[in-house]
């Protein structure tokens, strides 16, 4: 079903029941059968007898087209359909550690990275070096390997560890 747009370019709210302004409307029944062109009052009466709503579906036509339907159910199904078509935008989340980061702090960061990976986001693992720590790059590699090993069950290594100046960087993608 095509959306209705006003002259300013924004979506138009659908008119229902008493909100319909046209004196005569083309009516489609609840089963999809054409009921013909009726006055708005007659169409409203027909909708009320069926215990349903009269909904304007094509306001730009002459005369406007209205349908007899359960408007609440219709809106619910539209929202459900829109939610189903929504796709997740993958984001890159960053986790930073240092070679001297403690065991508990690493576990906390691993749990955050696990959350990111289960929500289909990528994780950029960074080991940062300061001062004389740069003389012990193997300690940073050990920390990075430990984190990657703990996340093997939810993520796979997308980019292997590479050194960029004072950092060692690698990327994990969700499985």
* pLDDT tens track for 132-156: 999 999 999 999 999 999 999 999 9
Domain boundary at 84, 107, 130, which?
84
Across all residues in the chain, what is the average pLDDT? Answer: 88
Query: Is pLDDT above 60 for 160?
Result: yes
Looking at residue 78, its pLDDT comes to: 85
Contact (Cβ atoms closer than 8 angstroms) between residue 26 and residue 65: yes
Q: Are residues 99 and 76 in the same domain?
A: no
Residue 12: band (very low, low, confident or very high) from pLDDT cuts 50, 70, 90: low
Query: What is the CB neighbour count within 10 angstroms for residue 116?
Result: 23
Asked whether residue 32 is domain-assigned, the answer is: yes
Question: Which of 112, 135, 139 has its CA nearest to residue 125?
Answer: 112
How far apart are the C-alpha atoms of 57 and 154, rounded to whole Å? 47
- Name the strand (E) or helix (H) holding 67: strand 65-69
Q: pLDDT category, 1, cuts 50, 70, 90?
A: very low
CATH number of domain containing 115: 3.30.110.10
N- to C-terminal Cα separation, the chain: 37
Q: Model confidence over 52-82: pLDDT tens digits?
A: 988 888 888 888 899 999 888 888 988 888 8
Q: Is residue 39 scored above 60 in pLDDT?
A: yes
Distance in angstroms (rounded) separating the CA atoms of residues 173 and 152: 10
Tens digit of pLDDT for each residue in 74-126?
Answer: 889 888 888 877 777 889 999 999 999 999 999 999 999 999 999 999 999 99
> Does the pLDDT value for residue 29 go beyond 50?
yes
Query: Are 34 and 70 part of one and the same domain?
Result: yes
**Range of the structural domain that residue 148 is part of:** 92-174
Q: Whole-prediction pTM value?
A: 0.55
| Total domains in the fold of the chain | 2
Cis peptide before 56 (omega within 30 of 0): no
Q: Which residues neighbour 143 within 8 Å (Cβ) at sequence distance 6 or greater?
A: 97, 98, 99, 101, 106, 127
């Amino acid at each position: 079903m095509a959306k209705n747009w006003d002259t300013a370019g924004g979506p138009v709210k659908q008119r229902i029941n008493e909100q319909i302004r046209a004196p005569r409307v083309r009516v489609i029944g609840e089963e999809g059968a054409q009921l013909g062109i009726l006055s708005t009052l007659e169409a409203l009466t027909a909708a009320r007898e069926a215990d349903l709503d009269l909904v304007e579906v094509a306001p730009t036509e002459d005369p406007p087209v209205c349908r007899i339907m359960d408007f609440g159910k219709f809106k619910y199904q539209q929202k459900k359909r829109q939610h189903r078509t929504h796709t997740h935008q993958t984001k890159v989340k960053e986790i930073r550690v240092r070679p001297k980061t403690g065991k508990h702090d690493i576990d906390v960061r691993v749990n955050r990275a696990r959350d990111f990976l289960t929500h289909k986001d990528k994780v950029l693992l960074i080991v940062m070096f300061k001062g004389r720590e740069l003389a012990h790059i193997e300690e940073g590699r050990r920390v990075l390997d430990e984190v990657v090993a703990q996340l093997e069950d939810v993520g796979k290594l997308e980019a292997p560890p590479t050194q960029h100046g004072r950092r060692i960087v690698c990327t994990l993608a969700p499985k």
